[in-house]
Amino acid sequence: MAEEGSKPTNFISLKTVDGEIFHVSPVIVNQIQTVKSLIETSGSSAVISLPHVYAYGLVMVLDYLEGKAATAASDVEEFETKFMKDMSHDDLKELLVAVGYLKVDGLQELVAKNVAKLIENKSVEFVRKFFGIVNDFTPAEEAKCREEHAWAFEGVDED
């Protein structure tokens, strides 16, 4: 995965928005569509900047890709369940941003599915807080919306 110091032979260097540099094997990089495309387009595999990805998010992506590569095909579902199991809301959001930019097949769907499960049947307030969305409705507009779409607010889980 990420190795500090000198760059291992044939490894590709990825630089996160917070300045961390990761030396990643081509086998792993080929599973990251955005990086693969950047290399193909530029013809260079010099240090590749990832302007929307923080080191913490990239570490989770690389952990997933390396763990999945080391897992037998019959055990991938179990690996993915364990990978997502104890992830905090902050980790999940960070990973969602990272895979959204990096376009990692399989992981993008896995994270989206877990976010969907997390916000399913939750209140508008929970979803706003989770995604950091500011309520731009006036109290009157919100009351009208809740009245017109009352069915959408029925049976909502406690936050």
87 vs 97: CA distance, rounded Å: 15
* Full pLDDT tens readout for the chain, 159 residues: 554 555 556 889 999 999 999 999 999 999 999 999 988 887 776 889 999 999 999 999 999 999 999 999 999 999 999 999 989 999 999 999 999 999 998 999 999 999 999 999 999 999 999 999 999 999 999 999 999 999 988 888 877
Predicted TM-score (pTM) of this structure: 0.83
E-strand ranges in the chain read: 12-16, 21-24, 48-50
CATH top-level class of 12-118: alpha beta
Domain ranges of the chain: 12-118, 121-159
